[in-house]
Amino acid sequence: MTDFNPYWFDLLESGLMSALPYLENSSYPNMRQTTENLIKHGVQSFDDILALVTDTSQPDAIRKEAITAVSWQKDEEHIPMLIQVLQDQSESSDLLHWILVISSKYRHHDFVQPLINIIQNSDDDLSRLTAIQSLGMLEVKEGTEFIFDNLVDTTDEQTRLTAIRSIMWMNPHVTDKMIDRFVEIAKDKNESNLMRAMATEALGELHRYEQVPFVIGQLSDPDPDVRYEACWSLHLLEAKEAIPAIEALLDDDRKPVGATIDHPTVAIIAQYAIDYLQGKGTD
C-alpha cells in the first residue's frame, strides 16, 4: 500500500490510461503497479474500479487491486461498500483479510462493530488477529475499551499479545486502569516472558513517564526479552536518568528468545538507547 496521491484521481477524469504516464515517472511504484494491473483487466475509469470491489464473479487478486485503489482516496462514501464485503461470509479469507488491513487506513467509527463481529465470531485465526490490529489502529474509544475489556485477559496468549500491541496505537483513549493492568502483567512472574516483555514495551510506546522507575527496574529482569523492551521503552520515554542502569547491560549478549523477528542483542539495543538519550542517535 502507499500514501494517497491526489494527482491520480485528477488524471482519472480522462480515464485510467491517462494516469499511467505520470505514474511511470513518479515515486509511487505500488500505485503504478496497481494501475497497470487494473488496466490489463480492462478497467478504464474509477467507476469501473468501484464496481470491481463488490463483483464476486471477478478473481480475488484483481478485486484486491481495486480495493487498494479505492483506499487511496479515503472517501467516507466508500465505507459502506467495503463493510458490505467485510460482512459477506461467502467471501474468501484472503479477500477479507485484505479489507481488514485496508479498514485501518480510514480511522472511521463505522468499522468498529464489523471488526468486533469478526473478532467474536470468526473461526479464522488470521482474520481474528488482523481484526484486532485494525480495530486498534482505528484509534476509536469504543474499540480501545472492547479490546481491553475482552481480550487482554483472555486465555489465548497470541490474542493477548495482539490486544496489548493494538492498544499501543490508541494513546488518546488509554486509561490509568489499562496502564495499571500492564504494570501488573509486566511484574507477574506467572506470565510468560513474551507477555511481560510486551507489557513493558507498552509503557514506553504509550509514553507513560510516571512509569520510568518501574521500567528501570525491568532492566534487571532475568529474561532477555524483558530487558530488551525495557531499554527500548526507556529510550522512548527519554529517561536520561536511566543511563547508568542501561550501561550495566552493555556486555549482555543475549537476544530476545521469543521474538518473531531477528532482534539484535540486549547490548546492542542498550547502546542504541544510551546514544539516543545522550543525543548521539535518532529514531
- In which band, very low, low, confident or very high, does the pLDDT at 51 lie, cut at 50, 70 and 90? very high
Q: Does residue 90 contact residue 121 with C-beta atoms inside 8 Å?
A: no
pLDDT, residue 59, reads: 94
pLDDT, residue 32, reads: 78
Cβ burial, residue 34 (10 Å; 0-12/13-18/19+): buried
Q: How far is CA 283 from the centre of its chain?
A: 18
pLDDT (tens digit per residue) in 86-117? 999 889 989 998 999 888 888 889 999 999 99
Indicate the Cα dihedral angle 241, 243, 245, 249, nearest 10°: 160
Q: How many CA atoms lie within 13 A of 199 on its CB side?
A: 25
Tell me: pLDDT of 229 over 50. yes
- Tell me, which fold does domain 176-277 have in CATH? Leucine-rich Repeat Variant (1.25.10)
DSSP letters for 115-144: HHHHHHH---HHHHHHHHHHHHHTT-HHHH
Long-range contacts of 188-193 (CB under 8 A, 24+ apart): 192/157, 192/258, 193/223, 193/225, 193/226, 193/257, 193/258
- Tell me, which fold does domain 89-174 have in CATH? Leucine-rich Repeat Variant (1.25.10)
pLDDT (tens digit per residue) in 165-183? 999 877 789 999 999 999 9
Most confident of 18-22, 207-211, 276-280: 207-211
Domain with CATH 1.25.10.10 in the chain: 176-277
Of residues 129 and 262, more confidence is placed in: 129
- In which band, very low, low, confident or very high, does the pLDDT at 14 lie, cut at 50, 70 and 90? low
pLDDT (tens digit per residue) in 203-223? 999 999 999 999 999 999 999
pLDDT, residue 53, reads: 94
Tell me: pLDDT of 21 over 80. no
- Averaged pLDDT, 152-166: 94
- Averaged pLDDT, 72-96: 89
pLDDT (tens digit per residue) in 22-43? 666 666 677 778 888 888 898 8
pLDDT, residue 207, reads: 94
What's the CA gap between 92 and 95, in Å, rounded? 5
Helix, strand, coil percentages, rounded to 5, for the chain = 65, 0, 35
pLDDT, residue 8, reads: 57
Q: Does residue 259 contact residue 222 with C-beta atoms inside 8 Å?
A: no
